[in-house]
Amino acid sequence: MKKATLFLLIFIALMAVVACNQPASASELKSGKPRETSPATGSADLTNLVEGNSTFALNLYQLLLKTGGNIFYSPYSTSEALAMTYGGALGETEKQMAAALQFQLSQDRLHSAFNSVDIELAKRGQGARGKDEKGFRLNVVNAIWGQKGIKFMTQYLDLLARNYGAGMRIVDYTNAAESSRQIINQWVSDHTEGKIQDLLPQGSINPLTRLVLTNAIYFNAAWASQFEKVNTHDGRFHLQNGSEITVPMMFQEHNFKYAEGTNYKAVELPYDGNQLSMIVLLPETNNFESFEVALNSQQLKGIIGRLQSSPINLTMPRFKIESKFGLKKALSDLGMPVAFSDSEADFSSMDGGRDLYISDVVHKAYVSVDEAGTEAAAATGVIVGTTSMPTNIKDMTLDHPYIFLIRDIPTGTILFIGRVMNP
């Protein structure tokens, strides 16, 4: 017997979250305990979660790099979205998801730790500047979109409300699948300032859909030390195939945290407020592929630990990247294939039955970097179906492919990862 469709959309937009009202066509079910704003999560649990998320982030990078070209995604969005899904998993499904996603805490401690990270992120950037005129933004927002008439487990709804602030909104997939899709897509667009459009493509929502989970993160921040536009000039960027292109190259002289090894250079660019930063990893010209295939969370941790303040002549291109991935194969390869099996998956903690499974996981992301700062947005959809300077100034010119990530400094949480092959 075919399983009913549950569409679990988890969406994150890192550089600008704007609060929006619930669509008038979706009613809200006031169930579940409200979000805990001061969860009793110890520092050990927080560290465990962040380290696990970082390992997952780099494991996923190793699979996504095979797609070629520019890459940009939010591992935090993916982890949190799948954590909400994981809250409804049991048995072998739960075990495989925990292993693939590097979840090492018990269910109650894991979700409380995610809540703690979200609460910490909400504190960032007070009084800081944004890339635009609206000020710094870094927000995490969640919602649940459930099928009218379906009774979900109270314990599961409480877990999502208490740890993710996700309130239930009632829609009617059975009789109005297309309008339900449009309502959810509008919510996503509103929470990413229009950067993520049509996250759910036509046909992704159908009468068998039962639930969509949405997680939105939007980030917008100015550099702590901005690039002056007068210093931006056309320059050469060397592609992996040996050819060259001409792109606008920004420049500034400033003290940044810097490190170098036998085959790379690294620099940390803080955002205004000095609570978040972009870390850029520049492998040697002819060693990009060997460097990135060896990159893991421990190596990254070591590089970050070696960063020291140094005067830098920094040259880097403006760039904009839009990415879209289907993550079903990657997540299966990481060790959670049973969650995608219509006959073996067990998400019975969601609704008490055994008729739900993940049919796909889709991720879309956007990032724009220029003289003023950074704007980024991302969305993950989990579709569950029935189935003055010293003389030794360092020079760092990003004129060939490089890797970058955006991280929260106090917790070490990696929010975004990308690579620039062609700016």
Q: What pLDDT is stored for residue 4 in this prediction?
A: 47
Q: Is pLDDT above 90 for 92?
A: yes
Average predicted confidence (pLDDT) for the chain: 87
DSSP-derived 3-state class of residue 108: helix
Q: How far apart are CA 387 and CA 109, in angstroms?
A: 29
379 confidence band (pLDDT: 50, 70, 90) = confident
The CATH number corresponding to 6-222+321-386 among 3.40.50.300, 3.40.920.10, 3.30.497.10, 3.90.1170.50 equals 3.30.497.10
The candidate with the shortest Cα–Cα distance to 366, out of 220, 233, 239, 166, is 220
Encoded amino acid at 51, one letter: E
Tell me whether strands 233-238 and 211-222 are parallel, antiparallel or unpaired: unpaired
Average confidence (pLDDT) over 324-348:
92
Encoded amino acid at 172, one letter: D
Q: What pLDDT is stored for residue 239 in this prediction?
A: 94
Residue whose entry in the numeric block shows the structure tokens 């509008």: 186
CA distances to 145, 157, 182, 322 from 367, in Å? 27, 33, 24, 7
The segment(s) of the chain belonging to CATH 3.30.497.10 are 6-222+321-386
The candidate with the shortest Cα–Cα distance to 319, out of 421, 193, 195, 217, is 421
pLDDT single digits (tens) 160-218: 999 999 888 898 988 999 999 899 889 888 888 888 888 888 888 888 888 887 777 78
- C-alpha angle 192/198/202, rounded to 5°? 160
Q: Is pLDDT above 70 for 118?
A: yes
Q: How far apart are CA 271 and CA 167, in angstroms?
A: 32
Q: Is pLDDT above 50 for 21?
A: no
384 confidence band (pLDDT: 50, 70, 90) = low
Q: Is pLDDT above 90 for 114?
A: yes
The candidate with the shortest Cα–Cα distance to 206, out of 185, 240, 235, 180, is 180
389 confidence band (pLDDT: 50, 70, 90) = very low
The segment(s) of the chain belonging to CATH 2.30.39.10 are 229-318+389-420
Q: Which of 12-16, 96-100, 237-241 has the lowest mean pLDDT?
A: 12-16
Tell me whether strands 402-408 and 414-420 are parallel, antiparallel or unpaired: antiparallel
Q: Is pLDDT above 50 for 58?
A: yes
Question: Do the Cβ atoms of 144 and 160 come closer than 8 Å?
Answer: yes
Q: How far apart are CA 86 and CA 103, in angstroms?
A: 10
Residue 319's φ and ψ, nearest 5 degrees, are -155, 160
Question: Do the Cβ atoms of 136 and 222 come closer than 8 Å?
Answer: yes
Q: ω before 387 within 30° of 0 (cis)?
A: yes
Q: Please name the residue ranges forming H helices in 143-249.
A: 154-164, 177-190
Q: Is pLDDT above 50 for 24?
A: no
Residue 311 has which token pair?
A: 């005067």
27 confidence band (pLDDT: 50, 70, 90) = low
318 confidence band (pLDDT: 50, 70, 90) = very high
Q: Is pLDDT above 80 for 20?
A: no
Assign a CATH topology to domain 229-318+389-420: Alpha-1-antitrypsin; domain 1 (2.30.39)
Encoded amino acid at 398, one letter: L
96 confidence band (pLDDT: 50, 70, 90) = very high
Residue whose entry in the numeric block shows the structure tokens 């609570």: 275
Q: What pLDDT is stored for residue 422 in this prediction?
A: 94
Helix or strand run (H / E) with residue 410: none
Q: Is pLDDT above 50 for 14?
A: no
Q: What pLDDT is stored for residue 22 in this prediction?
A: 35
DSSP-derived 3-state class of residue 41: coil
Q: Which of 19-28, 147-156, 188-197, 369-378 has the lowest mean pLDDT?
A: 19-28
5 confidence band (pLDDT: 50, 70, 90) = very low
pLDDT single digits (tens) 245-302: 999 999 999 999 999 999 999 999 999 999 999 999 999 988 899 999 999 999 999 9
CA distances to 114, 150, 180, 407 from 270, in Å? 24, 47, 40, 10
Average confidence (pLDDT) over 118-130:
93
Q: How far apart are CA 265 and CA 316, in angstroms?
A: 13
386 confidence band (pLDDT: 50, 70, 90) = low
Average confidence (pLDDT) over 356-361:
80
The candidate with the shortest Cα–Cα distance to 293, out of 137, 65, 87, is 65
Q: What pLDDT is stored for residue 122 in this prediction?
A: 92
